[in-house]
Structure 1
């Protein structure tokens, strides 16, 4: 799925790759990619005099595409050691907590600490930033190619817990036919909460400087904060 936004001269296109479900940062609704990161990227592209072209891919493929292709931007992505050297980083754009959720009906699952989580199987999307953190903590992880397929396993009990951001979990639950009354937050995954945009290292340094300058102008004039507060009302003032 590829979607274009805005007007610009031919050839002036900011190409973006992203995953399908990451509420409230990027998600597909009404056949459009929407979310906090989409709004930030649209403003960023406008300041660069470019048109935005967003392609929705499986997350593993999105990571690989941005890493191996020139001047392709990736969002929304956490900076973890395994990724850090592979990309140029723009941001942080916003911050995202990640918590483990269980089905309330599964009363046999009791998770009050991260140590408790070691007794259960966590379902996660392949190449999610939480996977190495969970592995380091000795928590077993079963991966799925996408969040919808991960949620299907969660609903039928093939995995016990799934990680998600509290700011987007209600929309995520709704997307896979669960209500908030059916799920329960347990413990937080202890990772860096910053989220970024990223480009592969074959991207010209001059273009990265232009993107960084445009992004910093959004920080300076509070445009970034305004967009973030639209999607995350608890965004702190800076």
Structure 2
């Protein structure tokens, strides 16, 4: 019996050690997914990340900062994860992933009432587009052939440049675009881009037990409908997240 108990303790030791480690979650100001309100970090993705970490019994810290810094920290510091991160082929092997915190179409937006109507890709390539340093959208823009890309530290700065006329276009998710419209921000859809999966991108040295625990809890969150309830609580019910004038799946 003693031998059996010792064997069980030794087999459980790596898992216990892994779960005892602290994960550092870093993110940016990007409403409605992750942002600061009344001094508290909140948002659709924040609620999901905190929920699955607690359910998995994982200790964690949460910090908000410019995206390029957050992304670099997750790539270079063990036990660090960045969100809400666009998942693409180039990033696949740079991180260990917990997906999906959301699935969304990308869209190029413009100032309300500007002259860029009936925009085609050929016309869009002649315009000045803005995005954030380190954002996956920059790679998406470059792959489409954009050359004149203005980079800012965060989405709020990019949005201010768009509204002031310093840039002509700005890529964002359809969900963020709908939130901007709901908030009365004078922007319009200019052109749809490809769909995108977003998730939690963790440093490759993060223990696999922690990643497995987070993924298992995220899977439960999706299957039991709680992910949809979180979206609904922020004014983005499931029906408005899956349809948008020809949106691709």
Q: TM-score, normalised by structure 2?
A: 0.78
Specify which of 93, 106, 110 is matched with residue 98 of structure 1.
Answer: 106
> Is the CA contact 2:74–2:80 (under 8 Å) kept in the aligned structure 1?
yes
Shift in Å, 1:50: 3.5
Shift in Å, 1:87: 0.5
Alignment of 1:14-163 (within 5 A): 14-21=23-30, 23-107=31-115, 109-140=116-147, 141-163=149-171
Shift in Å, 1:225: 3.2
> Is the CA contact 1:12–1:49 (under 8 Å) kept in the aligned structure 2?
no
> Is the CA contact 2:23–2:60 (under 8 Å) kept in the aligned structure 1?
yes
1:185 aligns with 2:194: no
For residues 208 and 34 of structure 1, the distance between their equivalents in structure 2, rounded to whole angstroms, comes to 22
> Is the CA contact 1:41–1:52 (under 8 Å) kept in the aligned structure 2?
no
Distance 1:142 1:14, change over 3 A: same
> Is the CA contact 2:101–2:198 (under 8 Å) kept in the aligned structure 1?
yes
Shift in Å, 1:152: 2.6
Tell me the matched-pair count.
219
Corresponding position of 1:7: none
**What RMSD over aligned residues (CA atoms) do the two structures have, in Å?**
2.3
Corresponding position of 2:233: 230
For residues 12 and 230 of structure 1, the distance between their equivalents in structure 2, rounded to whole angstroms, comes to 31
> Is the CA contact 2:22–2:79 (under 8 Å) kept in the aligned structure 1?
no
For residues 99 and 121 of structure 1, the distance between their equivalents in structure 2, rounded to whole angstroms, comes to 15
> Is the CA contact 2:23–2:81 (under 8 Å) kept in the aligned structure 1?
yes
Shift in Å, 1:170: 5.6
For residues 58 and 43 of structure 1, the distance between their equivalents in structure 2, rounded to whole angstroms, comes to 23
Larger-Rg structure: 2
- SS of the aligned residue for 2:35 comes to strand
Large movers: runs of 4+ above 6 Å: none
Distance 1:31 1:170, change over 3 A: farther
Deviation by residue 1:87-127 (Cα, 9 ceiling, x = unmatched): 111111211222111113432x3442222211101111112
Gaps of 5+ in 2: 1-19, 243-249
Query: Which of the two has greater helix per residue?
Result: 2
Q: TM-score, normalised by structure 1?
A: 0.82
